[in-house]
Chain A
Amino acid sequence: DAGVIQSPRHEVTEMGQEVTLRCKPISGHDYLFWYRQTMMRGLELLIYFNNNVPIDDSGMPEDRFSAKMPNASFSTLKIQPSEPRDSAVYFCASSLRSGNEQFFGPGTRLTVL
């Protein structure tokens, strides 16, 4: 199994630009999670999906952030417009069922100048 796949691995963009992060969960996993990690705030849950349906988006910082999961094997996290304070590592994780261990992707390091 290839594990959770994320792209791109690194993204450098300028303030105001749209950023799209991509994730392919482990095949057969029902849950998909998007996290953001910074030194100051640690690992924060942004949103998660169960069977492609968004369940809890209370961690999404503001309307500039949106996430979709059009099918069981693909999800996107979009930031529009991006701001320097969005600079962080964004992780995608998936799990087989509720409460089980989550498997993390390698992350996308986002830098907004």
Chain B
Amino acid sequence: EDKVVQSPLSLVVHEGDTVTLNCSYEVTNFRSLLWYKQEKKAPTFLFMLTSSGIEKKSGRLSSILDKKELFSILNITATQTGDSAVYLCAVGDGSGNTGKLIFGQGTTLQVKP
């Protein structure tokens, strides 16, 4: 069965710290890996990765994919209280023409002032 596992499940840090969130996957037909941020509302898209070793960056957030070891990391540097959220990792199923995403259980990040 296809699955996506995130770790840690929750994390508490102080402003200014750097955090690394992990996502490992076992998916029969891999198409892409996506990261979402969910505050008290709908998930919002952060990154999509399809190739190994190419870092994607947006401000203080960056992410990289390792398709050999089947994992991705999301780094947040100089964390701020506004980074507090649930971070979701999802893998795009490449079977046929499916548009399906398989989500992990999420990492809850709390950034304290």
What's the A-B contact tally at a CB cutoff of 8 Å?
Answer: 59
When distances are taken between beta carbons in the complex, the residues of chain A under 8 Å from B32 are 99-100
Nearest A residue to B103 via CB reads: A43
When distances are taken between beta carbons in the complex, the residues of chain B under 8 Å from A33 are 99-101
What is the CB-to-nearest-CB distance from A23 to chain B, in angstroms, rounded to a whole number?
12
Instruction: Say yes or no for A97: interface residue by CB 8 A criterion.
Output: yes
Known A-B contacts A33-B99, A103-B45, A104-B44; the reply to A98 vs B88 at CB < 8 A is: no
Interface size on B, residues (CB 8 A): 22
Interface window among A12-20, A48-56, A65-73, A74-82 = A48-56
B53-110 contacts to A, CB under 8 A, are 88, 92-94, 97-101, 103-106
Instruction: Say yes or no for B16: interface residue by CB 8 A criterion.
Output: no
Known A-B contacts A103-B45, A105-B42; the reply to A45 vs B100 at CB < 8 A is: yes
Instruction: Say yes or no for B112: interface residue by CB 8 A criterion.
Output: no
When distances are taken between beta carbons in the complex, the residues of chain A under 8 Å from B42 are 91, 104-107
B12-71 contacts to A, CB under 8 A, are 31-32, 34, 41-45, 48
Known A-B contacts A42-B103, A99-B32; the reply to A104 vs B98 at CB < 8 A is: no
Nearest B residue to A101 via CB reads: B45
Assess whether B48 is in contact with A98, with CB atoms less than 8 Å apart.
Answer: no
Known A-B contacts A100-B48, A103-B45; the reply to A95 vs B103 at CB < 8 A is: no
Partner of A55, one of B94, B98, B106: B98
CA distance A50 to B98 in the complex (A): 8
Interface centre among B32, B34, B43, B93 (most CB of A within 10 A): B43
Known A-B contacts A99-B92, A101-B34; the reply to A48 vs B99 at CB < 8 A is: yes
The 7 A-B residue pairs with the shortest CB-CB distance in the complex, in nearest-first order:
A104-B42, A31-B99, A99-B92, A99-B31, A98-B99, A101-B45, A43-B103
Chain A residues at the B interface, C-beta cutoff of 8 Å = 30-31, 33, 42-43, 45, 48, 50, 55-56, 91, 95, 97-107
Q: Can you report 10 A-B residue pairs in the complex whose CB atoms are below 8 A from each other?
A: A31-B99, A42-B103, A42-B104, A42-B106, A43-B106, A56-B98, A95-B99, A99-B32, A99-B93, A102-B45
